[in-house]
A and B are shown apart, each in its own frame.
Chain A
Amino acid sequence: MDTIQLLLGGFGTALSVNNFFAAAVGALLGILVGAMPGIGSLAGVALLLPLTFKFNPVTGMIMLSAVYYANMYGGSYSAILINIPGDTPAVMTGLDGHPLAQQGKPGKALFTSNIASFIGGTVGIIILTVIGPGLARFGLRFGPVEMAALLLVAMTSLGWLLGDSPTKGIVATLLGILMATMGFDAVLGTPRYDFGSIYLLGGVPFIPLVIGIFGFSQVIEMMELRNKPRDFDTDKLTLRDSMLSRDEFRRIIPPSLRSSLLGTFIGVLPGAGATTGAFLSYMQEKRLGRDGHLLGTGRVEGVAAAEAGNNSAAAGAFAPLLSLGIPGSGTGAVLLGGLLMYGLNPGPLLFQNQPEFTWGLIASLYVANIVTLGVAIMIIPWLIKILKVPVSVMIPVITTICVMGSYSANNSLYGIVMMLFFGVVGFFMKKYGYPIAPLLLAFVLGPTLEKNFRQALQISDGSLAIFLQRPISAVLVAFLLITVVSPIVRRAVGKNKTKTKGESV
């Protein structure tokens, strides 16, 4: 009952003219940015972060969340139409979406993607509404010991999952933590690792870092793609041809619902995210679906499973973000950075201390989901034109936004210098296969980890055994060990198998 009342109060906040407008603009921009191949949700949210400076925290976060959320819709369009995913979760959508486009049904693939995204998002947001406050109440049991263990789990699981190798994920994570130690020590308030520079005294600035490492690095990378032509299997899309028949509707509902539940569960796990949600939902459909064996040949069920999976995971990821302060993905880390920038402290007390903000944001996700669906359907006839914007035109336009955004972070050229530096760093990291998202996640979570870790050691007089003496942290440490050890064991077993095969030949 309480939850419903709070949610209704949240709708009061979300439906104010300013907030509704912010959600609608966020939805439109999110779809556009997500649809453009090569930009992706992370770079999209990063580039649009400065736009929210003018807003109050509630409106700013509503807009950013709508951008993030709508990105999930937009990411699938280029995967379907030109077989280039707008972001990583859309890779799975392309497996059936592009074959459908090649069969002359691009509109149906897009419409399926929109409807499944809507179903996934709605299920994810309903579950978020129900479990969010419970998770926050559970989070109130977390002291520094449990919090430090949870943060370690969040950082390592993402670091291990992404990129070419676990080693690279760990290097990126540790670099992110070290970058976060520059500036003031959050516990003692003394300056450190500023190397005598007054600029570094304030630490590494968040917005130039995000814009550089995701936005500008993308510009440098795009230079390789700028002359590559994009092949379209169709010249024209109409809403009429995109509509699904009753039979097609019936076919996409069960996979959408199944994937929504699985996707939300994945999204709630710290360190998992939309990509894992889409991947596992697609695999689930392949096994459980009536025509699972046909997936990959251009089936609407495949598109529905992947899209419902990634959108529900994106919505579910808000639960640990808001109630525990743990983002589920790189984009979640940008959102967390945005929350911190606005002076809001995500964590167990957010639901208690900032109910207007928290419930306003959750209610705005319902609103943004409906608005995004409307925009997503209306935009279908224009998609070919949007996707035909050449990379060579996007390069100077994105660079201009990068320059303006990083300057406006603190009205200083220092912001641009940092943006360029991190742009180059991000480019090299991508080229050498080092994942960037764990670096950002670690950068954002690093100070909280350090604070809690040091407090835990103060409580235990320096003994690490405290992490095993408390039940919640002991479970988390066990999970952490499994995460760390399992890839090593898998690799060792894999090597042994190869050796044995080699010997037997």
Chain B
Amino acid sequence: MARANSRFVFPTIATAIGALWVAVGLSRYGWISDGKPSSGFFPVIVGALLAAIGIVAIVSELKIEPPRFFSVHLHPLLATVAVVVFALLVGFFPALSVYVFGWLKAYEKYTWRFSLLVTVVTIALVYGVFAAWLRVPFPRGFIMDALRG
């Protein structure tokens, strides 16, 4: 049995986006008004072109072998989502420290010493640049906020 080819997914989404832009542009923002191009004019042209080229891309993609994906590709994404959720509870820097250390120690199996060293250097650098120098107001997290009243 032929293997499903995932290559058609991306051009199909692109075609759908092009069609959506045409539909929304014509129905909501208009094409020409008082002889002048309206807000929908340019996006409708580009959307129509994308929908048409997207179909050509779908056809040409089906002939090519799909690339391989591995579950490890998902790991940085899942880890970052977890960091963001954790950051909402305990604040950015503690969450990122746990992430960097945990990734190196538990996931990559580096030594305690090495993992700690990389964590300290990384967090010190990003704290220095973003919090101390750029003065970005990072959230302290619900727990820290509650503790501080």
Chain A positions 393 through 412: 1 when the CB is less than 8 Å from some CB of chain B, otherwise 0? 10111011111110110010
Interface residue? B46 (CB, 8 A): yes
List the B side residues contacting A450 at CB < 8 Å: 42
Interface residue? A171 (CB, 8 A): yes
Interface residue? A105 (CB, 8 A): no
Say whether, besides A167-B60, A174-B53, A400-B96, A193 and B138 are in contact (CB < 8 Å): no
List the A side residues contacting B14 at CB < 8 Å: 171, 174-175
Question: Does more than half of chain A's interface fall in helix, strand or loop, or is it mixed?
Answer: helix
* Tier of interface size on chain B: 35 or more
Interface residue? B144 (CB, 8 A): no
Chain B positions 11 through 27: 1 when the CB is less than 8 Å from some CB of chain A, otherwise 0? 10010011001001100
Bound-state Cα–Cα, A168 to B56, Å: 10
Asked whether, in the complex, the Cβ of A392 is within 8 Å of the Cβ of B75, the reply is no
List the A side residues contacting B29 at CB < 8 Å: 185, 190, 192
Bound-state Cα–Cα, A174 to B51, Å: 10
Asked whether, in the complex, the Cβ of B96 is within 8 Å of the Cβ of A431, the reply is no
Asked whether, in the complex, the Cβ of B76 is within 8 Å of the Cβ of A395, the reply is yes
Closest to A442 in B: B46
Asked whether, in the complex, the Cβ of B46 is within 8 Å of the Cβ of A407, the reply is no
Asked whether, in the complex, the Cβ of A431 is within 8 Å of the Cβ of B69, the reply is yes
Asked whether, in the complex, the Cβ of A53 is within 8 Å of the Cβ of B134, the reply is yes
Asked whether, in the complex, the Cβ of B84 is within 8 Å of the Cβ of A403, the reply is yes
Asked whether, in the complex, the Cβ of A50 is within 8 Å of the Cβ of B134, the reply is yes
List the B side residues contacting A177 at CB < 8 Å: 46
List the B side residues contacting A416 at CB < 8 Å: 80, 84
Asked whether, in the complex, the Cβ of B76 is within 8 Å of the Cβ of A178, the reply is no
List the A side residues contacting B76 at CB < 8 Å: 216, 219-220, 223, 395, 399
Q: Which of B17, B40, B96, B100 contacts A178 (CB 8 A)?
A: B17
Closest to B103 in A: A396
Residue with the highest number of chain A CB atoms closer than 10 Å, among B24, B49, B76:
B76
Interface residue? A41 (CB, 8 A): no
**Which residues between 25 and 51 of chain B lie within 8 Å of chain A, taking CB atoms?**
25, 28-29, 32, 35-43, 46-47, 49-50
Chain A positions 138 through 168: 1 when the CB is less than 8 Å from some CB of chain B, otherwise 0? 0000000000000000000000000001011
List the A side residues contacting B39 at CB < 8 Å: 185, 187-188, 190, 192
Asked whether, in the complex, the Cβ of A403 is within 8 Å of the Cβ of B42, the reply is no
Asked whether, in the complex, the Cβ of B118 is within 8 Å of the Cβ of A461, the reply is no
Chain A positions 409 through 428: 1 when the CB is less than 8 Å from some CB of chain B, otherwise 0? 00101001000100110011
**Which residues between 56 and 86 of chain B lie within 8 Å of chain A, taking CB atoms?**
56-57, 60-61, 67, 69-70, 72-73, 75-77, 79-81, 83-84
User: Among the listed stretches A358-366, A375-383, A452-460, which one makes contact with chain B, having 4 or more residues with CB under 8 Å of it?
Assistant: A452-460
Bound-state Cα–Cα, A484 to B38, Å: 28
Closest to B45 in A: A453
Interface residue? A493 (CB, 8 A): no
Asked whether, in the complex, the Cβ of A223 is within 8 Å of the Cβ of B73, the reply is yes
Closest to B139 in A: A413
Asked whether, in the complex, the Cβ of A397 is within 8 Å of the Cβ of B42, the reply is no
Residue with the highest number of chain B CB atoms closer than 10 Å, among A50, A170, A400:
A400
Bound-state Cα–Cα, A454 to B54, Å: 25
Closest to B28 in A: A192
Interface residue? B10 (CB, 8 A): yes
Closest 4 CB pairs of A and B: A174-B50, A408-B136, A396-B103, A185-B39
Return 24 A-B CB contacts under 8 Å, by A number. A50-B130, A171-B11, A171-B53, A171-B57, A174-B46, A177-B46, A181-B21, A185-B29, A192-B29, A216-B76, A224-B73, A395-B103, A399-B79, A400-B126, A403-B80, A404-B96, A404-B126, A404-B130, A407-B138, A420-B80, A420-B81, A431-B69, A450-B42, A462-B32
Q: A167-B60, A216-B76, A407-B92 are in contact. List 6 more A-B contacts (CB 8 A).
A: A171-B54, A188-B38, A192-B40, A395-B76, A397-B100, A429-B10
